[in-house]
Every structure is written in C-alpha cells, then in structure tokens.
Structure 1
Amino acid sequence: MRIIGINQEKCIKCEQCVNECRHHMFFKEDESIKFEDPDDTCIKCGHCLAVCPTDAVIAEDAEVFEFEEARDPSQIIEYEYLMRFIRGRRSIRQFKDKEIPKEQIEKILEAMRYAPSGSNKQSWNYVVITDPEKIKFFSDQTMKLLYLLKKALKLKFILRFFVFGGARKLLLDPKNAMRLERVIADYEAGKDVIFFEAPCVIVLHAPSYGSVAGWDAGIALTHGMFAAQALGIGTCNMGFAQEAARRNKKLKKWLGIPKGRKVQAVLALGYPSVQFHRAPPRNELRVKYM
C-alpha cells in the first residue's frame, strides 16, 4: 500500500487525517488538506484511510474493509459477552480425528492478518501443515530437543555454569525433571505428546531482530485463537515445538524459514473431543496504580 494524495473533490477539510497521522504527512495549506512524503517515511499504517469520513485519501494497492457505518466498538460486542467468550477459551489437547476444511483455516489466518503490529510492519509469515506424516515428522524432531534436555538435566553441574537466571532455576527444579520423564514415557508408548494428534499446525515466523516481532506474533496468535474458537475449532500454543523450530537447523530448513527470521509461535488446531463445563481459577490481579 502507498498513499499518493488527497481527492480534493471528496475532501471536506475535517482534518481528521492531519490529527491522526503521527508523522505529519498531512497538513493544511491554502484552505486545502495536502499529503507529502518526500523522504518515504510513511509507515503505511492506513489510519488516514480508516479515519477519513468521505474516502478522500488516495492509495495504491490498498485493500480497505468498509464498515456499514462508523461505530463505537462497544456497540459491536458488549463487554459481558466478550468476557464470556474469553473465559470460555481453553487450550485443547484432545482432538477429534477430523480434518479442518481449508476455508476454515483461511478464516483463522484472515483474523490473524488483522492483528496490530509495531509500526504496522505486519512482518509475520505462516507455514500451514495439514499432512499427518509431516506433522509427525515435526513432532519427532521436537522430541529430539526433549531428549537432549533430559541428558542436560543429568549433568546439573553444567547447568550451574552455563545456564543463567530463570532458565537455570526452571531446569534445576526436580518437579520439571519428573514432568519431562512423564512426557518422554508417553511418547515412547506411542502417544503424540507434542501436537496431540491435531490435524493442523500453523507455524508463525517473523524477523529475528529485536523483541517487537515476538510481541506482534503473540497478538496475531491470540487473534487466531479467538477466531478458531468462534468457528468451533480448538487451539493450543506449542512451546516445545517453537523451541525446536528455533534450535534445530534441520527442522528450520525443512519448514523453509529464511535466514534472518525465526519461529515466533506454533499453533495446533483441531475440533475438540473434550467439553469443558467451567473456567479454571485465575490468580488475583497484581496491579500497581500510579
């Protein structure tokens, strides 16, 4: 998308674009609203297009979703209904043996496409895996990381010298070692302990520099989770698979992750074979007001 100017016949000089643009590309001159970007510093956030009441901002290659009318977001969905929806979401680890139609997957990806991102970079790309053999390969490659972790836990003196901070505390916790043993035992018994027989896996990758791309990925992932829930599809964010896709060069190459990018999230999707009757408890809020 590229902003190229103002349709003066449509413009009503309300200055909404002037007020909305944080980089001062729009300005009022000679009783007209004008747009200039000589240094090509526009971040292409599209807010000028969105805020203009008469569609006077001219853009190239811009796909714009039109609202039927300008609305207060609270009129679209009431807070109480939204909270019921949020509380109703669960991480699913029991899936039916049922494929997800491609059009449903595309609806979920479309919701993720509308997630906000820093400077509107929209830098995430997706890899969608629906072939059961390929999902199993991903699972098996992820298990290699867990076997390495099991070996590392036996060499605690190495962890004390080469792993620091919260990671060392986590790895040295004997309870986590016991949990890892159970996961490996289930895998060796033939269970899919990584994707839980999910019929679809979505891998999200973004630039590896900085931390903003990771935050953006988390927001996009949440959009996808809620969209899936609205379609009756369960999801679970797979941390082990994410770490494996970051650390296993063979797996990264197999996924087609280019140099300079890294996997920011891995999402398993499928129709739930379990029904929940209530939301589990949550910790009390820890808030400091200033």
Structure 2
Amino acid sequence: MDVMDAILKRRSTRSFTNKPVPNEVVERLLEAARWAPSGGNRQNWRFIEIRNPRRLDMIKMFSAGLKGDPTLIIAICGKISEPMNLLDIGMASENIMLEAVELGLGSCAIVSYSEGPVKQFLGVPDDLELILVLSIGYPDKIPKPRPKKPLNEIAFSEKFGEEFGS
C-alpha cells in the first residue's frame, strides 16, 4: 500500500469484531514501532501488548476513552521528563497505526485513562510513565473521515502568515 493511502485510510476505530489479532501481526506492529525515528536514536520507549480478555477488560475499566472491545491493546511507556520522548513515542505510535491499516486492522490512540491503576496493573516501573494506549482490532465499522482544515489554513511559505505555494 502507498503510504499516503494508509494515511488517508487511517481512522480512530472504536468498534471491533471479536477476531483475535495473531502473534505474527502483533510482531509486525511492534516492528513498525521499533523502526520509528527517535532523537539521537535513543529508542526510549517500551511497549506492552495485552491480548488476554480479562486483562483487556481491566484496562477498559480504568480507561474512559477506550470504547468498543479491542482484541489487542498496546501500552506505550516512556519518561515525560525527557520532552523528546513524547515526540518519539508519537512517531512510533503513528507507525503502529499505519501498519495496522496495511494489515486490515483499526486502531485508536487513547490518553484518557487513570494512569495510576493502569500503570500498576501493567507492572510499569516507577521511573516510566504510561504515555499512550492504542486499542487495536479488526474493525466492525469503519468511521467516516473527519473534516480536516484546508492546507492553506495550516501551511505557510517561507514565514508564518505567508500564503502557502505563493
């Protein structure tokens, strides 16, 4: 698949079938994350894959933003004290979500959860924060695209405020 096709097809999916995500697919998603760029090639991220239905339910109980019933959650941890880590984790997350599109999966980035209980439940060490949870599964419904601002509202040429493409 063309990268732009994957970008345009990616949606925040919140409705999933109960079909499990196979091991080899999970590994491909994590490989996509592993190959994301990171500042100084530090790779200061850690990924936890969760597929056990009881564990998924427990995470869902403490995650207000987690809708539907994903068959896979990837929790991403790092140190917020190092601001570059947030950027790095964002790039790794996008790699996962784009690879998910390629593999016929839906995904949704979740940041509305009770960090303390989820972090403890997942055994995340004290020196790391739980940054993001990705809910992943085979989509039951594919959401319609959300409106995006036109390029000329968000992009400029040479300096801020100068019309793009002029």
- TM-score of the aligned structures, taking structure 2 as reference length: 0.86
Inter-partner Cα distance in structure 2 for 1:256 and 1:110: 22
In structure 2, what is the equivalent of residue 229 of structure 1? 101
- TM-score of the aligned structures, taking structure 1 as reference length: 0.51
Q: What's the Cα RMSD here?
A: 1.8
1:287 aligns with 2:159: no
The superposition leaves residues 196-217 of structure 1 with CA deviations (integer Å, 9 ceiling, x where unpaired) of 1111100000123121111100
Is the 8 Å Cα contact of residues 63 and 112 (structure 2) preserved in structure 1? yes
Structure number with the higher helix fraction is 1
1:110 alignment partner, one of 20, 31, 48: 31
Runs of 5+ unmatched residues, structure 2: 160-166
Judged with a 3 Å threshold, the aligned counterparts in structure 2 of structure 1 residues 196 and 86 are, in CA distance, closer, same or farther, namely same
* Structure 1 residues 197-216: aligned runs within 5 Å: 197-216=69-88
Runs of 5+ unmatched residues, structure 1: 1-76, 144-192
Inter-partner Cα distance in structure 2 for 1:82 and 1:104: 18
Is the 8 Å Cα contact of residues 200 and 268 (structure 1) preserved in structure 2? yes
1:252 aligns with 2:124: no
In structure 2, what is the equivalent of residue 238 of structure 1? 110
Inter-partner Cα distance in structure 1 for 2:56 and 2:50: 7
Tell which structure's C-alpha radius of gyration is larger.
1
Inter-partner Cα distance in structure 1 for 2:54 and 2:142: 28
In structure 2, what is the equivalent of residue 141 of structure 1? 62
Inter-partner Cα distance in structure 1 for 2:37 and 2:97: 15
1:270 aligns with 2:124: no
Is the 8 Å Cα contact of residues 92 and 236 (structure 1) preserved in structure 2? yes
- Which structure ranks higher in relative contact order (CA pairs < 8 Å, sequence separation ≥ 6)? 2
Q: Determine helix, strand or coil for the equivalent of 2:12.
A: coil
| 1:137 Cα deviation from its structure 2 partner | 1.0
| 1:141 Cα deviation from its structure 2 partner | 2.4
| 1:281 Cα deviation from its structure 2 partner | 2.5
Inter-partner Cα distance in structure 2 for 1:142 and 1:89: 22
Is the 8 Å Cα contact of residues 70 and 136 (structure 2) preserved in structure 1? yes
Count how many residue pairs are aligned between Structure 1 and Structure 2: 156
In structure 2, what is the equivalent of residue 177 of structure 1? none
What residue identity is the alignment partner of 1:139?
K
| 1:105 Cα deviation from its structure 2 partner | 0.4
In structure 2, what is the equivalent of residue 125 of structure 1? 46
What residue identity is the alignment partner of 1:266?
V
| 1:89 Cα deviation from its structure 2 partner | 1.1
What residue identity is the alignment partner of 1:229?
V
Inter-partner Cα distance in structure 1 for 2:5 and 2:118: 39
1:88 aligns with 2:3: no
Q: Determine helix, strand or coil for the equivalent of 1:90.
A: coil
Q: Determine helix, strand or coil for the equivalent of 2:19.
A: coil
Judged with a 3 Å threshold, the aligned counterparts in structure 2 of structure 1 residues 195 and 135 are, in CA distance, closer, same or farther, namely farther
Inter-partner Cα distance in structure 2 for 1:106 and 1:200: 12
In structure 2, what is the equivalent of residue 70 of structure 1? none
| 1:270 Cα deviation from its structure 2 partner | 0.3
Divergent runs of 4+, >2 A: 81-85, 278-281, 287-290
